[in-house]
Amino acid sequence: MPQHDRPIERLVAQTDSLYSLPAVAVEVLKLTEQPNVDARQLKECIEKDPALTAKLLRVVNSALFGLSREVSDLNQALALLGIKPLKLLVLGFSLPDGLFSGVQRELLTRYWNRTLTKAVAARELCNRLKLAAGDDAFLAGLLQDLGMLVLIQQVGDPYVRFVEQARGDWGQLAELERLALSFDHVELTARLLEQWGMPEALVEAIVPIEGEFRPSKSTDDVRSIIHLADLITQIVVDQRTALLPVLVADGGLLGLRESEWETFFQELQDKVLGLADVLMVELPDDLNYAEVLQQAHQRLVREASEAAAELAALRRQHEAAAAAGTCGELAAAVARITATPRSTPTTTAQSGESSSTSESARLIAEDAPAATATADREAATVDARRTAADDPALVNRIAMAVAACRQARCALSLLLVEVDHFRDLLFQLGPDQGNHLRQLVEMVCRSIDHPAVWCDEVHEAQFAVLLAGCERDEAVRRGNELVRAIRKLGSDSQPDRPTITVSIGAATVTMPPKNFLAEDLVEAASRCLYGAQASGGNTLKSIEIY
């Protein structure tokens, strides 16, 4: 499709003809493009719009800028701020009025909450990091979601309903838009700003960072600042508290310490409220960034405690496996050196003591293979996690499922199902019956009652079961059904067959976020599997990833 025929290009053309920048903003752009900007001309241009002038002075005198003395006219603003910051404020506050007309009150309130939070957060981050790009970052944050207003005005109710369905998850809105429209509102914002002649650096700054976050060492890396400001907005406005570790990690790459975030959020709310007041825009009544941050911390502590418990269980299992391996080796060694060769005759005089010694040796020798098999089984269990996580076919399959579930905006669950004490069962049943048992277990796993199932054996008697569109509660139910069904493969159907049980580790990602790693799902399911095995087997442990 030619570039000019793309829906976004046609939408930009229509929007540009309906919503152009006010004449004052256009003239400011022209004046500031000159090598030597005439401050007097710039002041006279802005003063042509008394409402804009009043708004600028209110913002300049707000806590956001923290000037040492009050500014009473544009001459003082130019002297204290400089031409570029004032120019950026003019552009930011000269948006076409028509973009805001007719927008539902609740939707507009939420829009301003996100927009002002992002803009103020961007400026405050620059202040914390002593970057000179605070004004550019403020404007980029202020304008990044402008495309939403364009879509509301141009598309109307269908887009409003679309946004309402994503309510509470606006952090994923752009991705959903790309699925539905082939572009997102941020891309639309960038194209519209280009059309209006906005600075190229500003347009580039609002484009989200794709892939791994690798901040530039440049002192004017506005794009990285907007990335962090958007994470902050998703945490405190969208209440996506699971993103706090991401913010702490990405902020650390820019030199922000974890201990700084609490005071940052406290100061942020005050300045957002102050800016909303001077701009006379409405924000939600229940604004409480500190409470949201506390909830995020509580969630992290809860998840860390669960992870610690699982890690302790895993450590105990490793120690038990190591002990079992050592005991097996010792028993085999003792059996070898104490067993009486069959060709050696035994005299009557020695029969009492020798028969006793020989019987002990025989018992040890008979126990040694079982102990060795147990040690091998435990060692295999310890190795299962690494094997599953390193299985390229499994990881690739999960990666495809992650992409599909992210597009469908649904959950993805992974069950790792392992036959308990399989090496012992193999010793009792023999190789043929043991292989037949594995086939039966795989058949039961594949027949699980769910519309989207993928199953494969990833290790000896360990099966991976992927359930697309499956929430944690349903995954647990299906897993417990597997436990009961597999038990029936044992003595219930064939009295001479030993009891067969399985342990299951279940991990669910509620809706795979962007850049979610397939390995993380395998890791989580593996930890749960080891927790189930450490509990004695024949059980299921589960975890949910946000």
Q: Which superfamily does 3-21+95-287 belong to? A: Hypothetical protein af1432 (1.10.3210.10)
Q: In the CATH scheme, what architecture does the domain 299-340+351-545 have?
A: 2-Layer Sandwich (3.30)
What mean pLDDT do residues 285-305 have? 63
Q: Break the chain into its structural domains and give their ranges.
A: 3-21+95-287, 299-340+351-545
- DSSP one-letter code for 508: E
What mean pLDDT do residues 499-512 have? 90
Q: Is 443 exposed, middle or buried (0-12, 13-18, 19+ CB in 10 A)?
A: exposed
d(CA 93, CA 268): 20
The label of the residue with tokens 């002075």 reads 57
507 pLDDT higher than 90 = yes
Return mean pLDDT, the chain. 77
d(CA 303, CA 543): 9
pLDDT higher at 468 or 298 = 468
pLDDT higher at 254 or 309 = 254
| Amino acid letter for position 504 | I
Cβ(204)–Cβ(143) under 8 Å? no
What mean pLDDT do residues 282-302 have? 69
Highest averaged pLDDT of the listed ranges 28-32, 63-67, 478-482: 478-482
Closest CA to 507 of 519, 496, 521: 521
d(CA 324, CA 299): 37
pLDDT digits (tens, 9 = 90+) for 139-179: 999 999 999 999 999 888 888 888 877 665 555 677 778 87
Q: Which helix (H) or strand (E) holds 543?
A: strand 540-545
pTM equals 0.56
pLDDT digits (tens, 9 = 90+) for 1-23: 445 567 888 888 888 777 778 88
pLDDT digits (tens, 9 = 90+) for 477-503: 999 988 888 887 655 445 566 778 899
Question: Above pLDDT 90, what percent of the chain?
Answer: 18
Closest CA to 234 of 281, 289, 300, 162: 289
Length of the chain, in residues: 546
The label of the residue with tokens 């609490």 reads 262
Compute φ and ψ for 363, nearest 5 degrees.
-65, -45
Closest CA to 332 of 374, 380, 377, 372: 372
Shared fold status for 3-21+95-287 and 299-340+351-545: no
333 pLDDT higher than 50 = no
User: What local confidence, expressed as pLDDT, does residue 541 receive?
Assistant: 92
Through-space distance between the first and last CA atoms of the chain, rounded to whole angstroms: 37
118 pLDDT higher than 90 = yes
Give me the helices (H) in 339-350, please. none
Highest averaged pLDDT of the listed ranges 160-169, 290-299, 320-329: 160-169
Question: Above pLDDT 70, what percent of the chain?
Answer: 77
What mean pLDDT do residues 178-199 have? 88
Cβ(264)–Cβ(251) under 8 Å? no
What is the bridge-based pairing of β-strands 502-509 and 412-419? antiparallel
| Amino acid letter for position 40 | R
94 pLDDT higher than 70 = yes
- DSSP one-letter code for 394: H
Helix (H, G, I), strand (E, B) or coil at 456: strand
For 175-230, give the DSSP string.
HHHHHHHSS-HHHHHHHHHHHTT--HHHHHHTSPPPSS----S-TT-HHHHHHHHH
What is the bridge-based pairing of β-strands 462-468 and 502-509? unpaired
